[in-house]
Amino acid sequence: MAQGLELSATDFQSSWNNRWHHTEEISSERLLVRRGQAFYITLYFRNRGFQPGLDNIIFVVETGDAVYLDSEPQRQEYVMNDYGFIYQGNKTWVRPCPWNYGQFEENIIDICLELLDKSLNFQVDPATDCALRGSPVYISRVVSAMINSNDDSGVLNGKWSEDYLDGINPAEWTGSVAILRQWHATGCQPVCYGQCWVFAAVMCTVMRCLGIPTRVITNFDSGHDTDGNLIIDEYYDNTGRILENKKDAVWNFHVWNECWMARKDLPPGYGGWQVLDATPQETSNGLYCCGPASVRAIKEGEVDLNYDTAFVFSMVNADCVCWLVHGGKEQRLYRDTNSVGNFISTKSIQSDDRDDITENYKYEEGSPQERQVFLKALQKLKIERFEGPYRANSPSSKPMPLSQNRPRSLHRPSLRPSDVIQVSLKFQLLDPPNMGQDIRFVLLALNMSLQFKDLKVSLSAQSLLHDGSPLPPFWQDIAFITLSPEEAKTHPCQIPYSKYSQYLSTDKLIHISALGEEKSSPEKILVDKIITLTCPAIMINVLGAAIVNQPLSIQVIFSNPLSEQVEDCVLTVEGSGLFKKQQRVLIGVFKPQHRASITLKTVPFKSGQRQIQANLRSNKFKDVKGYRNVYVDLML
């Protein structure tokens, strides 16, 4: 009888396999392979050679193709690309924010695996957790919970205020690598601080590093419905000031992820892109995580499908009801079915352009299909809601229904007060809203009737945080406007920089509103506008050809747009494959309207398409951004 084989050594051919599996940027020393693709290993035997027909070798391997994308351009974008854009601003001014995902940078794969081992699931039952790691549904929920630190030793602490003295203002981050490395270096202590785009960007890094196709999504005018009734309530006082709502909110924008995966746990047809949201908003099965929720299920109103589909549906398709708070009562001004969920955006495939993917999430606003889906979602959630124009703050108050605004069916929105009064109000900016300059705008008033109209209009301006939280008003005015039949008039307004500068939030958002009333009608007209102030972008010039392992000079040009001195200026620059770590340059004091440049030297260590990301922060502004794409050649 032939002697059995004795294995002496195994060559995993890591360098060759990793190159063909597109993981060579992570490592060439250990085997890192992707699902659904062949790889090769060599076995060496101690006592004799392998004899075909006589010897039998059995391999036990467990794989799957639950995250396979059959498009090579999509694989390059959603798995391989290590930089991108996260869209911010507002629906009328969409701004791309450059981001360094850096999923192939040194030690990132180990940090991602450490993140899985720090999860509550692994801590409670390591064997079961490891057995389930082949499921992208399971892994995505674990990662979603671990990116925030609300329940565990997660990566990021979230903060939505203006006090970041004990950490980093979320607006200052330009990449995930520095965040993940800090978390690892401090013994897995949460990094301070993150907000939605930071949570989503770090999750994108982790998921792409683990081989799951992932992209970052921005939803403008994003609903946060805490009571699950698909209604976002907004409150105003009689001066036009928006009031803080401790429950519902409309975020100026909100950022989450989509991951590509099969969903064998759902009915056929609901695989593909799935929403994952690592921002700690509400709990899911007791933990602060969200998803995966099928994008197709969201569009079709299948809000009873796992996971958290109803919550995501409300973010993109809730109705908004505006209330006037006055005299101890809440008067409903109008119900808006179109305002939540606009310009849902992600970076285009192999391009710096923006893709609008709103149609993936919902049917066109105002279409019969959109209302049908909304009603279907309400039915599945078994929601009923009183829609009268008044509701009391106390049981003793009596509702005072108005004949012009009786309760209406959910099939269509109620008449706006402007339709009843037949007067239209609208804001229009006269100049670009540049940081440091006065804000000039007009209120346009149009009489659509054949009668004279006497209007009293209360105007207000206040800063907003990006999650919709209002700060106290810093400017108010009252205008009296008389309109002849079918007449249009403009009322000019100006808010000096000296008036708003000390009240401006990091997000640079100013909410202006006008509450109009006409003496012959009890109805009130509300119009508002969100203004995002802009700063001049950082310019980056690459001085000479970029070649692997050859010195490269990079010029960074930046300016102070304000007519006052700014202090505590710090410039950060990074870029995967170009800098081994984030570069920080202390600038200190920056003179009024001064322009400056510095030159940095580096040695690129990876070839191909790369991106440089830069941020300038000061005591007056935190997120002046800039970027430059660079192609790095292997040799001259």
Catalytic residue among 248, 277, 467, 623: 277
Q: Is 162 annotated as a binding-site member?
A: no
* pLDDT score of 468: 87
CA 293/CA 527 separation, integer angstroms: 34
Catalytic residue among 184, 224, 254, 511: 254
Calculate mean pLDDT across residues 453-482.
94
Catalytic residue among 196, 204, 289, 493: 196
User: Comparing 108-112, 186-190, 244-248, 249-253, which segment has the lowest mean pLDDT?
Assistant: 244-248
Nearest to 154 by CA among 180, 128, 125: 180
| 70 is an active site residue | no
In three-state secondary structure terms, 170 is helix
Judge whether residue 394 has pLDDT over 50: no
Task: For residue 553, give Cα distances in angstroms to 150, 364, 578, 601, 602.
Answer: 42, 49, 11, 5, 7
Q: What is the CA radius of gyration of the chain?
A: 28
Where is pLDDT greater, at 377 or 386? 377
Per-residue pLDDT tens digits for 199-230: 999 999 999 999 999 999 999 999 999 888 99
Burial class (CB in 10 A: 0-12, 13-18, 19+), 58: exposed
Task: For residue 60, give Cα distances in angstroms to 5, 57, 63, 592.
Answer: 18, 10, 10, 68
Q: Is 342 annotated as a binding-site member?
A: no
Please name every residue paired with 610 in a beta bridge, in sequence order, or none if there are none.
Answer: 630
Q: Is 304 annotated as a binding-site member?
A: no
Per-residue pLDDT tens digits for 1-46: 567 888 888 888 888 888 888 888 888 788 888 877 888 998 888 8
| 196 is an active site residue | yes
| 411 is an active site residue | no
Confidence of residue 64 (pLDDT cuts 50, 70, 90): low
Interhelix angle 108-117/136-147, rounded to 10 degrees, is: 90
DSSP 72-126: HHHHIIIII--EEEEEEEETTEEEEEEEE--TTSTTHHHHHHHHHHTSHHHHH-H
| pTM of the full structure | 0.88
User: Comparing 29-33, 108-112, 335-339, 532-536, which segment has the lowest mean pLDDT?
Assistant: 29-33
Calculate mean pLDDT across residues 414-442.
85
CA 32/CA 17 separation, integer angstroms: 8
Q: Which tokens belong to 43?
A: 């076995």
Name all domains of the chain by residue range, CATH numbers in brackets.
1-64 (2.60.40.10), 72-387 (3.90.260.10), 423-532 (2.60.40.10), 539-632 (2.60.40.10)
User: Comparing 68-72, 398-402, 451-455, 527-531, which segment has the lowest mean pLDDT?
Assistant: 398-402
Q: Do 457 and 478 touch, CB atoms closer than 8 A? A: yes
In three-state secondary structure terms, 525 is strand
Characterize the bridge pairing of strands 191-194 and 329-336.
Answer: unpaired
- Please report, as a single letter, which amino acid is at residue 580: K
Q: What is the dihedral of CA 187, 189, 190, 192, to 10 degrees?
A: -100
Q: Is 227 annotated as a binding-site member?
A: no
CA 617/CA 506 separation, integer angstroms: 11
